[in-house]
A and B are shown apart, each in its own frame.
Chain A
Amino acid sequence: MSDSDLPVVLIVEDEPDVAETYKLWLQQEYEVRMAQNGDEGLEQLDADVDVVLLDRMMPGLSGDEVLERIRERKLGCRVAMVTAVEPDFDILEMGFDAYLSKPIRSEQLHETVDNLLDRSEYDSLLQEYYALVEKQATLEATKSSAELAESDQYDELTQRVAEMRDDLSETLGGIEDDSDFIATLRGLSDDEDN
């Protein structure tokens, strides 16, 4: 259970020194959980976890296997894979949301976690935006333009749709990065499966 309102980051890393370093960097801004291997990582994982930092090369369950189980559980958390090599497009298809090449600097780690939290924010805003658009569309499809012009409810809805559209473009300021783009699209397909 989460004791605070801070976003929750789960570090799955078999080298204690490395894990401890990440924790030191992150603990001011996030609630940090630690796991020394894949099995422990899966145990620590629940709906409160926002971001998982997942080491790819671990004894026992590999990072790839853990990722697969996380996706099967459809928890909606974001996963940053920590790898020793720079992944190619093919690896983007694997289903993680970001990758970090070792060794990692503090700044880079913060940036990645922030970015993943922003993207979750974008997804939930997009979800909310869609719900409003759908209501508006239903009214437009069933009422005459005269009826719509007189409806305060429709007026209010139209305004909220416009506000949300601005919020959405501000939240992400555009999807700049290729991995952002693909990860966001993959998120849409996952939503559909739910």
Chain B
Amino acid sequence: MYDLTSVLEFDALSEVRPGSSILISGPAMSGKERLAYDILADGLRKDDGAVVVTTGDGAGSVVEEFRSLVPDLDDSQLGVIDCRGEGGTDEEAIGNAHAHHVSSPGDLTGIGIGITKALEGLHNAGNEQGRLALVSLSTMLTYTDKKTVFKFCHVLSSRLDSAGYIGVFTIDSGAHDDQTLQVIKQAFDGMIDVRDAEGGGREARVLGLAGEPTDWQDI
């Protein structure tokens, strides 16, 4: 079981089953990516492997980010799939971290190969469990349609399930129509909703992982 309560204090997150995938949904600039990275950093501190699929930050800056979040980071616990379609060769090593470049956020086969290599690398480095973050589905949705993204999420969840990993996926709730959001949600075991609180700061709630939806709480 994965305990995410040191990142977000919700009882529903104290025992997250391996294989679960969680959608982190919220408007732009509400700290979704931060939250996803924090969940991975928390895992890295507990010796879990971490895989980041990024459509925004470059592989180099992702590795830098995790080095600052986890000061005694062992790079070999980290794999990055950089889907921006920039950066030279397919593969590069950043320290001991494994980075894989994919031609575009719409190249699902390429992303799959990158994830496969990352999972294999982490497995060989002795990581028995781990966490994957995909940031963000909203970018993928601009490259391909919701049907394909839904299926991709379903297939990836199934792969994570057999690896015993958990997955966190971010989506910008303001960037898509209700119907698209409703469709995408169905591909996940649970959801963390994030929003700006009225008096400043941020609030979150958890839906679908354990028991009834929680109330909004400050985070």
Residue in B109, B113, B154, B177 whose CB lies within 8 Å of A126: B154
B162 within 8 Å of A (CB atoms): yes
Q: Within the assembled complex, what's the spacing in Å between the Cα atoms of A140 and B155? A: 24
Known: A136-B186, A182-B112. Is A141-B177 also a contact (CB below 8 A)?
Answer: yes
Chain A contact surface mostly: helix
Q: Which of A51-59, A63-71, A169-177 contacts B (4 or more CB under 8 A)?
A: A169-177
From A141, A178, A185, A192, B155 is in contact (CB under 8 Å) with A185
Bound form: Cα–Cα A23–B155 in Å: 33
Contacts A141-B177, A181-B116; A192 near B150 (Cβ below 8 A): no
Residues B108 and A189 in contact, CB atoms below 8 Å apart = yes
Contact A175 B148 (CB under 8 A): no
A3 → chain B, closest Cβ, in Å? 34
Question: Among the interface residues A89, A93, A184, which one has the most CB atoms of the partner chain B within 10 A?
Answer: A184
* B151: interface (CB < 8 Å): yes
State whether A137 touches B152 (Cβ < 8 A).
no
Say yes or no: is B117 at the interface (Cβ < 8 Å to chain A).
yes
Cβ proximity bits A134-171 to B, threshold 8 Å, 1 near / 0 not: 10111011000000000000000000010000001100
Known: A172-B158, A181-B159. A93 touches B183 (CB 8 A): no
A185 & B109 in contact (Cβ 8 Å cutoff):
yes
Per-residue 0/1 for B159-193: is the Cβ within 8 Å of any A Cβ (1 yes, 0 no)?
Answer: 10110000000000000011110110010000000
Contact, CB under 8 Å: B183 / A134: yes
Contact A182 B145 (CB under 8 A): no
Residue of B nearest to A185 (CB): B112
A133 to B150, CA, bound (A): 10
- Chain A, Cβ-Cβ closest to B19: A174
B152–A185 CB distance below 8 A: yes
The answer to whether the Cβ of A39 comes within 8 Å of any Cβ in the partner chain is no
Chain B residues near A169: list those with CB within 8 A. Answer: 158
Cβ B183 vs Cβ A133 within 8 A: yes
* Max chain A Cβ within 10 angstroms of own Cβ: one of B111, B145, B154: B154
Q: Are A178 and B116 in contact (CB under 8 A)?
A: yes
CB distance from A162 to the nearest CB of B (A): 11
Chain A positions within 8 Å of B162 at CB level: 174-176
A19 on the interface (CB 8 Å rule)? no
Contact, CB under 8 Å: A140 / B116:
no
Report how many A-B pairs have Cβ atoms within 8 Å.
Answer: 83
Q: Which residues of B contact A186 (CB under 8 A)?
A: 108-109, 112
| Other-chain residue from B111, B112, B144 in contact with A192 (beta carbon distance below 8 A) | B144
Q: Are A174 and B113 in contact (CB under 8 A)?
A: no
Known: A174-B158, A174-B162, A182-B109. A188 touches B148 (CB 8 A): yes
Chain A 82-97 against B: per-residue CB contact (8 Å), 1 yes, 0 no? 0000000100110000
> Chain B contacts of A25 at CB under 8 A?
none
Least CB distance from B143 to A in Å reads 10
Task: Name the contact of B179 in the complex, choosing from A89, A137, A175, A181 (C-beta under 8 A).
Answer: A137
- List 9 A-B pairs, minimum CB-CB distance, nearest first: A137-B182, A141-B178, A185-B112, A174-B162, A141-B179, A137-B183, A175-B158, A133-B186, A186-B109
A residues adjacent to B (C-beta < 8 A):
89, 92-93, 126, 129-130, 133-134, 136-138, 140-141, 161, 168-169, 172, 174-176, 178, 181-182, 184-186, 188-189, 191-192
A-B contact pairs, 20 of them (CB 8 A): A89-B116, A93-B113, A129-B154, A130-B147, A130-B150, A136-B182, A137-B186, A140-B178, A169-B158, A172-B158, A175-B162, A178-B116, A181-B159, A182-B116, A186-B108, A186-B109, A186-B112, A189-B107, A189-B108, A189-B148
New A-B contacts (18) at CB < 8 Å, excluding given A174-B161, A186-B108: A92-B113, A93-B109, A126-B154, A130-B151, A133-B183, A134-B179, A137-B179, A137-B180, A137-B186, A138-B179, A140-B182, A174-B158, A181-B115, A184-B155, A188-B151, A189-B109, A192-B147, A192-B148
